[in-house]
Structure 1
Amino acid sequence: MATISSLGVGSGLDLTGLLDQLESAERLKLTPITSQQSAIESRISAFGRLQGYLTSLQGTVEKLATAATYQGQTSRISGSGVGVAVTSSAVPGSYQVQATQLAQAHSLASAGVADKTAALGTGTLTIASGEETLTIEVSAGSNSLEGIRDAINAEKGGVTASIVNDGSGTPWRLALTSKATGTEAAMTVSFDDGGSGGDQLNALLNPYDAATNSNGYKETAAAKDAQLTVNGLAITSQSNTVEGALQGVTLTLSATGDAQTLTVERDTASIKSAITSFVSAFNALDSTADSLTSYDADSGTAGTLLGDSTLRGVQGRLRQAITGGLDEGTYRYLSDLGISLQLDGTLKVDDSKLGKALEGDLADVQALFVGTADKPGLAATLSDTLDDILDEEGAISTAIEGLESRSEALDERYSRMESSIAVTIERYRVQFSTLDTLIAQMNSTSTYLTQQFDALSAMLGDS
C-alpha cells in the first residue's frame, strides 16, 4: 500500500488543518487545570503578602513588648565642648556643667643626640606610670636611640616612645608619652648603667637638673586631671570621659568654657513613635486583608481570599488580642491610652489622650503593654499570638503548604492530560493517514476505470 508523506496530498482534503482543530479542541481540556493553577498561585501570593504585613506588625509589637522601650532617656546641652550620653538610669532634670580644665597625658623628652643609630651605652631603664613599671635592659646592639624606642614600644605598656627631630645640631630626641591622661598616669623615668660606664644614657634618661644633669630629660607636657563643676560641685577626673558625676550620664569633655545647661528628660518621643508605628502597621495589615476579601457587586470582582477561613481566623485572633484588657492597673485597655478600634477595623490614636498618658507615670504605660511578673501585657500577648500565626507550623504556613500541595497535584494532572491528548492526536493522525491513503487509492482506481471505459467506448464507437 502506498504511503502518504503529508496529510491531504492523497485525498486533496485539508486533513492537517482538521487535525490542528481537533488538537485545539482537545487542549481545551487543559483550561480548567490552568485556571485552577492560576487561582492557587494568586492565593499563595496573597498569603505571602499577608505574611509580610504580619511580620512588619510583629516587629512593632515586639518593641512595645520590651521594657527598655519605656525606660529611655534623652538629653541636650546648651553649648559645645561637652558631649553627653545617657542611660535609662539617668535622673531627669536640669544641670549646670562647666569644664575648667581638660585631662592631659604626661610627656617627657630627652636631650638631643647627633646620631639616632649610634650606640649610647648599656644598663637598665625603668619607667613607672600609674601602677605599671616597665624594666628594660639596654644591651649592646640595641642601645641606640632607635633601639631604645623599639624596646619600649615592644613592651606594649602604658607608655609610647617616638623619636623627634628638633632641627638643631643634635636634633634626635627620645619622646615618651603616657597612653592614659591624668596625674595618676604621670611617668617617672630613671636609668642605671650598673657601673658599665654608660654616662651618655645616664645623662639622657635621668631627670634634668641644672646643677648636676644639664642633659637630662625634661617635661614637655604636664599630666593633668580634668576639672569641672556640676551644679557648682567641683569634680576631678583622670580622663576627659567623666562617668559617675551624674547618675546614668557620661560627659565627654573636649573644650573648656562657660557653664552650660544639661537637660535630661524621658524619651517619650521614642515611645510615641513605637506606638504610632504599631498602629500604622496594624492598619496596613487591615487594609490588605480588606482588599483580599473584598467584593465589587458592580463588576462582580471578588478578592483573592474572599471567604477564606484562615484569614478570618487570623483577623479574629488579632482583634481579640487587641481588644482584650488587663484585670488591673491604671491603664487596662488600649482605649485608655487613646488607641481605639474603629468600626472599619482600623486603629485610631487620640494624640491628646496619648500625650497626657506619656507625661504621667511611664511604669503604668509599660505595665499595659509589657505586663507584670504575674501576667503579660497586651503587646506581650499579641506578640505571642503573632509568633504562633507566623510559626513554621502556624496558620499562614499551613495554608501556603496546602495550596502548594494542590498546585503540585495539578501540575501532575496537567502532565497526564497532555500525555493523553498527545496519544489521542497521534491516533487521529494515523487514522487520517489511513483515510488519505484509502482515498488516494480510490481516486487512482476511479481514474483507471474512467480511462478504461473511455477506451472501450472509443473502440465500440469506431466499429
Structure 2
Amino acid sequence: MTTSGSSIISALGAGSGVDFTKLAQDISAASFAAQRDQLTARKTALEAQISAAGQLRGSLTELASALGDRIRNGDLSPRGTLANAAVATVNVLPGSAPRGNFALEVTELAAAQTLLSRPFASRDALVGEGTLTLRFGTAGASSFTPDAARAPIEITLTATDTLATLATKITQATGGSVQAYVATGTGGAQLVMKGQEGAANGFVIEAALPPSAPPDPEPAPPLAAGDPRYLAWAPAPGDTLRTGTARDAAFRLDGVAMTSPTNRVTGLPGGFGLTLTGTNPGAPTTLSFAGNSAAVSRVMTDLVAALNEIVGQINDLAAPVGGELANDPGARELRRDLAALAGQVLMPSATGGAPRTLGDLGLALNRDGTFRLDSARLNRTLETSPDAAAAMFTTGATGVFAAFDRLARETGLSGDPGSLGGSQRRFQRQLEASDERLARIAEQQEALRERLTREFTASERRVAASQSTLAFIRQQVDIWSARER
C-alpha cells in the first residue's frame, strides 16, 4: 500500500547519485570540442603542406647536388689525349674544362734520393751508441746545400740498436719522408734509405759518438761497423753508396720550360694536370682535349627523367582538388620556372652558333608541362659545337649546374612569399598560431572545468543537506504510519 508519506520520499529521492567531477570535465570538454577539432584538423593540413613544400624543395636540391657531383666526379670533363701515351697521363680537375692542343716534351723525370749504408754482417748487427743527424737540402755530385726552412732530424742510438731497429727509427723520426729498410745482398746487410721526389729532398747523414766516448787514438783507425760514424754520408766524387739522386722533373709545354718537384704536375692551363711517366727529349708529343659527347647525351637523358619526376610531384601535390599545395603561390612559381628552363640563357658570353640554352642541348617542353629530349637538336649541337656543349657542364658561375643550383636556392628563399620557402614559412607561422590557440583553449577549458567543479560541489553539499532533511522526514513518516495502525 502506498501512503502519502512514501510518495513524498519517492519524489525527493534517496540522494543525487551523480559524479559531479566527471560531469564538470565532460561539460568543459564538450564546450570546446568543436573549436579544438577544427584547429587539430587545421594543424594536420598545415603539417601536410609543410611536408609537401619540403618534398619539392628537397627534390630540386637533390637534383642540383647530383648534377654537381656528376660534373665534378663523373665523365663530363673534356678528355685529354696524348699522341705518345708513354710520356704521361692526363688528369682533368673536377669541374674544369681545358681546351685546345699543347706540345709536351719531357726531358727529365723527378726522382728521389736512394742511399745505401756500408755493409754489415747481418740485419741484427749493432750500429753503435751515438747520434745520427739527417739534414735535408740539395745534394749535388760533390756538394750539399742545406734547406734552411727544414730543421735537421736527430736520432739517438743506444747500445742495443741494430741495423733493423735503426731503419724503424729513421722512418718514424722523419714521418715517412725517408723510408728505411734493411736489404741483405751478396755483400752483406745494408740499410736502404729512400727520400721523396724533388731536388730539395736530398739529404746527408752526420754521425757522432756519445760525449762519454774516449777520444780516437792517433792515428785514427778506419771506421768499422759498430761505430755510428760508419753510417755517415755526404756527396763526394766517386761515391757509390748513392744509387739515386734527388731531382725535379723538367719539361716543356708549348716550348715553355717548367719544373716540378714531383712527377705529378698541377696548375696547368685550363685546370688539367699531368703524371709524367717517361721522357721524349727532342720529340715533343701532342696533347689534345675534346669534349665527351656521349657523356653529354647521357646526362641530358638523365636530366630530362629527373625533371619529369619533379613535374609529377608538382602535379600530385599541387592538384586543384586534393593537393596539399593546391593554389599555393610557391608551387605555381616553381611550375613557371620549370617551364622557362629550356629557353633560359645559361652561357651569356657564348658567341656565334655556340649553344647558350638547355634547349640547345635538346631540352624541350611538352604541352602538359613535362619534358622530352629533342635528340635531333642535341646531336646537331654536339656535331657543330662539341667543346662548347661540354663547356656548359662546369661548376662555375654559368652553365647547367649554376642554373639548377640557383633555382634550388631561389625556391628555398623563406623571405620570398612567392617561393616554396616563403610558403613553408607562412605555413609554419600558421601552425604556430594554431598551437597557441589550442593552448589558450586548453587553459579556457581547464578554467571552465574548475568553475563547474566548484559549483557542482556546492550543489552536492546542498543535496547532502536535503538528504539529511529527507532522512528526518522519513523517520517522522514511519512514526506516523505506526500510530495509524
Do these two structures clear the TM 0.5 threshold for a shared fold by scoring above it? yes
- Distance in 1, Cα, partners of 2:193 & 2:454: 102
Per the alignment, do residues 441 and 76 of structure 1 end up closer, same or farther by CA in structure 2, a change over 3 Å counting? Answer: farther
Instruction: Find the partner of 1:32 among 33, 38, 43.
Output: 38
How far 1:306 sits from its partner (Å)?
Answer: 0.7
Alignment partner of 1:319 is 2:339: yes
Per the alignment, in what secondary structure is the counterpart of residue 305 of structure 1?
coil
Moved more, 345-354 or 269-278: 269-278
Contact 1:189–1:206 (CA under 8 A) maintained in structure 2: yes
AA aligned to 2:17 is: G
Alignment partner, residue 420 of structure 1: 444
- Relative to structure 1, is the Cα distance of residues 291 and 167 closer, same or farther in structure 2, using a 3 angstrom cutoff? closer
1:201–1:407: structure 2 CA closer, same or farther, 3 Å change rule? same
- Whether contact under 8 Å (2:113, 2:201) holds in the other structure is yes
CA contact (8 A) 1:10 1:437 kept: no
CA distance in 2, matches of 1:154, 1:12: 91
Alignment map for 1:1-400 (pairs within 5 Å): 10-13=15-18, 15=20, 18-19=23-24, 21-29=26-34, 30-59=36-65, 71-73=77-79, 84-87=89-92, 88-89=97-98, 107-112=115-120, 116-117=126-127, 129-130=139-140, 133=144, 164=182, 166=184, 173=190, 179-180=196-197, 197-201=219-223, 218=240, 241=263, 250-251=274-275, 253=277, 266-295=291-320, 302-324=322-344, 329-330=352-353, 331-351=355-375, 353-365=377-389, 380=402, 383-394=405-416, 395-400=419-424
Equivalent residues of 1:206, 1:217 under 8 A apart: no
- Residues 274 and 59 (structure 1 numbering): CA distance in 2 closer, same or farther, change over 3 Å? farther
Contact in 2 for aligned 1:71/1:266 (Cα 8 Å):
yes
- Supply the AA of the counterpart residue of 2:91: V
**Could you tell me how far apart the structure 2 residues matched to 1:332 and 1:175 are?**
59
Q: How much does 1:341 deviate?
A: 0.8
Asked whether the equivalents of residues 111 and 217 of structure 1 are also in contact (C-alpha less than 8 Å), the reply is no
Question: 1:186 & 1:16 partners in 2: Cα distance?
Answer: 93
Letter in 2 for 1:441: A
Greater displacement, 104-113 / 410-419: 104-113
Shift of 1:16: 5.7
Note the C-alpha offset of 1:319: 2.3
Paired with 1:90 and 1:188, the residues of 2 have a C-alpha distance of: 44
Deviations 1:380-409 (CA, angstroms, capped at 9, x unpaired)? 555444433323524333322222222222
Please, what TM-score do these two structures have when normalized by structure 1? 0.62
Q: Which amino acid aligns with 2:334?
A: V
- State the TM-score, normalizing by the size of structure 2: 0.60
> What is the aligned partner in structure 2 of residue 405 from structure 1?
429
Structure 1 distance, partners of 2:179, 2:243, is 14
Aligned equivalents of 2:100, 2:70: Cα separation in 1: 23
CA–CA distance in structure 2, aligned partners of residues 460 and 153 of structure 1: 125
Q: Deviations over 1:346-393 (max 9, x none)?
A: 2212345424533442344267778x99xx667655544443332352
* Gapped regions of structure 1 (runs ≥ 5): 1-7, 96-100, 136-140, 208-215, 226-236, 255-261, 297-301
**Which amino acid in the other structure matches residue 275 of structure 1?**
M
Say whether the 8 Å CA contact 1:107–1:177 is kept in structure 2: yes
Deviation at 1:292, TM superposition (A): 0.8
In structure 2, distance between residues paired with 1:242 and 1:340: 43
CA distance in 2, matches of 1:119, 1:303: 84
C-alpha separation in 2, matches of 1:333 and 1:119:
75
> SS at the partner of 2:17?
coil
- Secondary structure of the residue aligned to 1:200 is coil
Q: Give me the identity figure in percent.
A: 21
Cα drift, residue 453 of structure 1 = 3.4
Q: Could you say which residue in structure 1 is the equivalent of 2:7? A: none
> What is the CA-CA distance between 1:75 and the residue it aligns to?
6.2
Moved more, 416-425 or 23-32: 23-32
Distance 1:118 1:222 in 2: 27
Report the counterpart of residue 439 of structure 1 in structure 2.
Answer: 463
Q: 2 CA distance for matches of 1:406 and 1:206?
A: 80
Kept after mapping to 2: 8 A contact 1:321/1:382: no
CA shift for structure 1 position 41: 1.4
Instruction: Measure the CA separation in 2 of the matches of 1:422 and 1:238.
Output: 80
Post-superposition Cα deviations, 1:108-156, rounded to whole Å, max 9, x if no partner, equal 4535479644599xxxx9x983476179xxxxx9899x89989999997
Shift of 1:11: 1.2
Unaligned 5+ runs, structure 2:
1-12, 147-155, 208-215, 248-258, 279-286
Q: 1:105 touches 1:178 (CA, 8 Å); kept in 2?
A: yes
1:266 maps to amino acid: G
